[in-house]
Chain A
């Protein structure tokens, strides 16, 4: 299976088109104003999809099987509470007399009627997406009857899905958000295409030689190690026990990237890197986490006299130093496997609204490309404030070149500097599982 930017770009447009149609139909059906939020093509491993999904809220989903131009599964997922709320408002309108909850009793369980209403909502949205894709692909996609799924764990939603990606498989996943404008209810949509059908589509849409999927997979495996390495570095430097919470490779249109960053003031360190590939690397912390890091890294007393949230000279250098070492760890891993040198600039400190920190990079890349691969990682600490978002955004043509030169066998041979001490508990708790170095060197 080979892919190229043109084919992925078509997929991306298809997903956006689908999200727009689904949002429109939801509005039509419920009279609630909605809009399509962020759409992403994610390359994620099965276990990461499951980890990402399991945020301990109860969910309901409506799942259909697709055949024809795309084979696979399409699933609309909403938080259970939101689903109930939507269904409630729908049924209130249609219930002419006293069919159901007219005595102000809020629904808290799905009964036969609410269940079928929820299924209907989900199905209409699924069909919106699918019609959008069929339009872009100018083809026919057949849809099975919808299936209602309710539960908390990812297993309920994905395990019955035939050919759902296994733990280590890198799957291409389409994710879109639909948001209601007034009530802030979000829906997620997942499409799990089957590999063979995806390969056939990619072949049809490809306009260049393309990149071997196995190479992308290999590169991503290496990035996975880079992320572990970053978490480990952060733990060593700050004494805060951190781990990788989310990690994925996104393919998005450039302007989506600033939209994903939280709408609040963030503290960050940015780098440009040069080599094959070249690109930009950003580490972004929320203010509380940054404060925590400064407290951990700067000897007590020395930094305290500065304005507490101004990140004075000491604070800035501490964060820059951390960023610098994390950047080296991240990029050295890439360079080793690619058997090349990747240099990075000195760190640039930033303390500003999140999107503003990201848009200069997006603009610079935007001179030559419309889409970007983003290596997106979230590092967290159990029980403490340490939220770090890492964005590595390579220049697209350089990345393609680097991938084509990549010798997949090298990946296994290259020593991984990250140690996995405690991998037995995977899947039992959503997150903080690996690399529990207790350190004393701060």
Chain B
């Protein structure tokens, strides 16, 4: 069974599971564990310190029947849902910035074509561009898994990854 952020004194930490999205503000941390080919999309408005994190799994929600029910599952619908919820909370659409992490391709199976991670990355980037949200930082691709932690207050996206020897690397975006 999973455990949740219960370290004493730690700020509230919300786990954003696969296909979920969460909008928050201030020093809450939003976490997604074990992204392989999934893409974490972090949007935030530096002025209001409102931000959100989505743990998306597939590229194209407009094609899918259930994207109304699960907007966080698809890169395109997740970005729109995050933006909408942030604006509802008081964020200003024009100042929102984006950071992305994930989209690895760890297996080279024939059935995977160009790579399932790559498809997600392309979809996320395309949707951001369509909506005019600047992508200010990213840690994408490769063949390693990542765990991300996002703090809306600062817009910091911490990306933890480990190499083959088990050494943990942390990248701050």
* A interface residues, Cβ below 8 angstroms from B: 37, 177, 179, 181-182, 184, 186, 254-255, 258-259, 261, 263, 265, 270, 272, 274, 278, 280, 287, 307, 309-311, 345, 348, 350-364, 366-367, 370
Q: Point out the residues of chain B lying under 8 angstroms from A287, CB to CB.
A: 166
Q: Point out the residues of chain A lying under 8 angstroms from B116, CB to CB.
A: 360, 363-364
Q: Point out the residues of chain B lying under 8 angstroms from A358, CB to CB.
A: 36
Measured CA separation A109–B18 after assembly (Å)? 40
Q: Point out the residues of chain A lying under 8 angstroms from B19, CB to CB.
A: 255
- B145 beta carbon closer than 8 Å to chain A: yes
Determine which of B112, B162, B165 lies in contact with A360 in the assembled complex, contact meaning CB atoms within 8 Å: B112
Cβ of A278 to closest chain B Cβ, rounded Å: 8
Whether the pair B2, A353 counts as a contact (CB closer than 8 A) is no
Q: Is the interface of B mostly helix, strand, loop or mixed?
A: loop
Whether the pair A179, B2 counts as a contact (CB closer than 8 A) is yes
Measured CA separation A348–B109 after assembly (Å)? 9
Q: Point out the residues of chain B lying under 8 angstroms from A352, CB to CB.
A: 36, 106, 144-145, 162
Whether the pair B165, A353 counts as a contact (CB closer than 8 A) is no
Measured CA separation A311–B166 after assembly (Å)? 10
Determine which of A307, A309, A360 lies in contact with B37 in the assembled complex, contact meaning CB atoms within 8 Å: A360
Q: Is the interface of A mostly helix, strand, loop or mixed?
A: mixed
Measured CA separation A370–B38 after assembly (Å)? 16
The list of the 5 closest CB pairs from A to B, nearest first, reads A356-B145, A355-B34, A356-B36, A359-B36, A353-B34
Measured CA separation A353–B3 after assembly (Å)? 15
Determine which of A37, A353, A370 lies in contact with B33 in the assembled complex, contact meaning CB atoms within 8 Å: A353
Residue of A nearest to B162 (CB): A265
Residue of B nearest to A183 (CB): B6
Whether the pair B165, A364 counts as a contact (CB closer than 8 A) is no
How many A-B residue pairs have C-beta atoms within 8 angstroms? Tell me: 121
Q: Point out the residues of chain A lying under 8 angstroms from B112, CB to CB.
A: 360, 364
Measured CA separation A359–B115 after assembly (Å)? 12
Determine which of B17, B147, B165 lies in contact with A259 in the assembled complex, contact meaning CB atoms within 8 Å: B17
Cβ of A289 to closest chain B Cβ, rounded Å: 15
- B120 beta carbon closer than 8 Å to chain A: yes
- B99 beta carbon closer than 8 Å to chain A: no
Q: Point out the residues of chain B lying under 8 angstroms from A37, CB to CB.
A: 1-2
Residue of B nearest to A258 (CB): B18
Cβ of B111 to closest chain A Cβ, rounded Å: 5
Cβ of A395 to closest chain B Cβ, rounded Å: 9
Residue of A nearest to B117 (CB): A360
Whether the pair A363, B6 counts as a contact (CB closer than 8 A) is no
Extra 18 A-B pairs, beta carbons < 8 Å, given A359-B36, A363-B120, A366-B57:
A181-B4, A182-B6, A254-B57, A255-B17, A258-B18, A258-B36, A259-B2, A263-B3, A278-B111, A287-B166, A348-B106, A348-B108, A350-B106, A350-B107, A352-B145, A357-B106, A359-B38, A363-B37
Whether the pair A356, B104 counts as a contact (CB closer than 8 A) is yes
In chain B between 95 and 118, which residues have their CB closer than 8 angstroms to a CB of chain A?
104-112, 116-117
Sampled A-B contacts (21; CB under 8 Å): A177-B1, A184-B1, A184-B3, A255-B57, A272-B110, A272-B111, A287-B166, A307-B165, A310-B164, A351-B164, A353-B33, A355-B18, A356-B35, A357-B106, A359-B35, A359-B57, A360-B104, A360-B116, A363-B57, A363-B120, A364-B109
Q: Point out the residues of chain A lying under 8 angstroms from B37, CB to CB.
A: 359-360, 363
Measured CA separation A212–B44 after assembly (Å)? 51
Measured CA separation A258–B104 after assembly (Å)? 15
Q: Point out the residues of chain A lying under 8 angstroms from B38, CB to CB.
A: 359, 363
Q: Point out the residues of chain B lying under 8 angstroms from A274, CB to CB.
A: 111
Residue of A nearest to B160 (CB): A353
Cβ of B9 to closest chain A Cβ, rounded Å: 14
Measured CA separation A270–B108 after assembly (Å)? 10
Interface string of B131-154 (1 = CB under 8 A from A): 000000000000011110000000
Measured CA separation A364–B112 after assembly (Å)? 7
Q: Point out the residues of chain A lying under 8 angstroms from B157, CB to CB.
A: none
Residue of B nearest to A279 (CB): B111
Whether the pair B110, A255 counts as a contact (CB closer than 8 A) is no
Cβ of B154 to closest chain A Cβ, rounded Å: 24
Known contacts A270-B107, A350-B106: A366-B34 contact under CB 8 Å? no
Cβ of B51 to closest chain A Cβ, rounded Å: 22
In chain B between 1 and 40, which residues have their CB closer than 8 angstroms to a CB of chain A?
1-4, 6, 17-19, 33-38
Most chain B Cβ neighbours within 10 Å, of A186, A265, A350, A355: A355
Measured CA separation A348–B146 after assembly (Å)? 19
Q: Point out the residues of chain A lying under 8 angstroms from B147, CB to CB.
A: 353
Cβ of A422 to closest chain B Cβ, rounded Å: 32
Known contacts A255-B73, A363-B57: A186-B6 contact under CB 8 Å? no
Q: Point out the residues of chain B lying under 8 angstroms from A310, CB to CB.
A: 164-166
Known contacts A37-B2, A258-B18, A353-B147: A364-B57 contact under CB 8 Å? no
Whether the pair A272, B33 counts as a contact (CB closer than 8 A) is no
- B66 beta carbon closer than 8 Å to chain A: yes
Measured CA separation A274–B116 after assembly (Å)? 18
Determine which of A177, A182, A353, A363 lies in contact with B145 in the assembled complex, contact meaning CB atoms within 8 Å: A353
- B58 beta carbon closer than 8 Å to chain A: yes
Cβ of B125 to closest chain A Cβ, rounded Å: 17
Q: Point out the residues of chain B lying under 8 angstroms from A182, CB to CB.
A: 6
Whether the pair B34, A354 counts as a contact (CB closer than 8 A) is yes
Whether the pair B109, A345 counts as a contact (CB closer than 8 A) is yes
Measured CA separation A357–B1 after assembly (Å)? 18
Cβ of B73 to closest chain A Cβ, rounded Å: 7
Measured CA separation A161–B111 after assembly (Å)? 46
Determine which of B2, B108, B117, B166 lies in contact with A263 in the assembled complex, contact meaning CB atoms within 8 Å: B2
Residue of B nearest to A272 (CB): B109
